[in-house]
Amino acid sequence: MPSRWVKSPFPKGMHYLSGNDAAAEGAVAAGCRFYAGYPITPSSEIMERMALRLREVRGVFIQMEDEIASISAVIGASWAGAKAMTATSGPGFSLMQEAIGYAAFTETPCVIIDVQRAGPCTGQATRVGSGDIMQAKWGSHGDYQVIALSPWSVQEMYDLTLGAFNLSEQYRVPAFVMADEAVGHLRESMSVNARVEIWDRKKKKGGSPFGTEEKDGVPPMPAFGEGERLLVTGSTHNELGFRKTDAPEAHAKLVERINKKILNHRSVISGTEGYFLDDSEIFLITYGFTARTSLFVVKRLRKEGKKVGLLRLKTLWPFPEEAVAEVVKRGKKVMVPEMNQGQVVGEVRKLCPGEVIPLNQTDGEVIRPETIMDELKKII
């Protein structure tokens, strides 16, 4: 799919920002020109910055009455042609699940940033957690795929929000940035390039918006007002959008295509980053803020001569099975530290014939290096 280069709307060079602010800038850089949202700690700063920035770039901002209205407005705007986004945290993410299923089934590009906090329920609103990882994949009913990215720095809040838009457009699928309170409120330097690469949804006048014979499985997407007489519906539909609620073939075909569309491209979509993988026998597999701490631990242990490595998951969904399988087949032991009761560890276990040890922490705080160090030393 062809991309294009545009001038960065944010001045090029080094900037010192919070993760939340960087995410907003990444969205504007990607071409996001519609934001509908609802305040929720610890994501509200994203909405506030978007309110400001969209006015500057002549986009549209609206604060809606609740999270359901927000994601609904985002989807409506996307079909009117916008690159649209909202940001929230756990409780809001839960409210949005029905609409997320709608976006997946109608193949509506949209981006949701979940700045995760300590749950379940209201939990500790100002504290950190990684409890929404499984929900990102399975939160709505039925079988569908999503793309979920996991930033570990302010730089990545910018890069991966930009990346989420690009992937969302390329694959006509909702894309999530699974951030958390730690990286959202963290302040760091980040660098902005003079130009950014962006992808737009496929367009084809008169093309079927909900079916394709093309290999990539992604149909073209018209917008309202282009004279295409769109038939957008959340019911099972054929390639033209006509409701097909009685035909078994229609349901099978649609459900299969929207899943295969993502799974067939997993190796291209899913990103990981390896550190000291080649000669390690013990691996940490983790993501997000916890991966940062884990890298510090791995480097420390390497200085002590211990053969440990780290596989960082930049993409959580579709789960990077190939990269993880490659690492676990080499390792004697795998440890998965997470700020939850074990959500990614289950996916790793599916692929790992050896021992997989979870390191779970749900106290509203980030996992400290000493904690990971102590647990690793028990198994080295």
Partner 1 sequence: MVRALEKYIRPGVKSTPFCPGCGHGILMGLILRAIDESKMDMKKMLFVSGIGCAAWIPSPNFNGDTLHTLHGRALAFATGAKLYNPDLCVMVISGDGDLSSIGGNHLIHAARRNIDLKVICANNMIYGMTGGQAASTTPKGARTSTTEEGNPYQPFDLCNLVKAAGATYVARFSVTQPVALVRAIKKSLLHSGFSFIEVLSPCPTQFGRRNRPDRPDEMMKDLIRRCILEEEAKGLTQEEMAERIITGEF
Nearer to partner 1, 63 or 371 (CB): 63
Nearer to partner 1, 28 or 183 (CB): 28
Nearer to partner 1, 99 or 327 (CB): 99
Residues paired with residue 355 on neighbouring β-strands, in sequence order:
333
Nearer to partner 1, 98 or 355 (CB): 98
Nearer to partner 1, 214 or 226 (CB): 226
Identify the residue whose tokens are 């459900």.
255
Report, in Å, the least distance between residue 252 CB and partner 1: 21
Nearer to partner 1, 44 or 70 (CB): 70
For partner 1, the binding residues (CB under 8 A) are 33-34, 36, 60, 62, 64-66, 68-70, 72-82, 84, 98-99, 102, 223-225, 227-235, 241-243
User: Residue 141 CB: number of other CB atoms within 10 A?
Assistant: 9
Dump the DSSP string for 153-216.
SHHHHHHHHHHHHHHHHHHTSEEEEEEEHHHHH-EEEEEE-SEEEEE-----TT--TT---STT
Report, in Å, the least distance between residue 10 CB and partner 1: 22
Report, in Å, the least distance between residue 29 CB and partner 1: 19
- Please tell me whether residue 127 adopts helix, strand or coil conformation: coil
Report, in Å, the least distance between residue 79 CB and partner 1: 6
Report, in Å, the least distance between residue 176 CB and partner 1: 19
Report, in Å, the least distance between residue 126 CB and partner 1: 27
Report, in Å, the least distance between residue 101 CB and partner 1: 9
- Residue closest to 94 by CA, chosen among 148, 131, 63, 46: 131
Identify the residue whose tokens are 């944010």.
10
Report, in Å, the least distance between residue 97 CB and partner 1: 11
Nearer to partner 1, 198 or 223 (CB): 223
- Residue closest to 23 by CA, chosen among 160, 141, 119, 144: 160
Report the half-sphere exposure of 158 (CA within 13 A, side-chain side). Answer: 24
Hey, what long-range contacts does 363-369 have (CB within 8 A, 24 or more apart)? 363/118, 364/118, 364/123, 364/124, 364/127, 364/128, 364/129, 365/127, 365/128, 366/128, 366/182, 366/289, 366/290, 366/293, 366/339, 367/290, 367/293, 367/337, 367/339, 368/293, 369/293, 369/296, 369/297, 369/300
Nearer to partner 1, 73 or 154 (CB): 73
Q: How far apart are CA 73 and CA 85, in angstroms?
A: 10
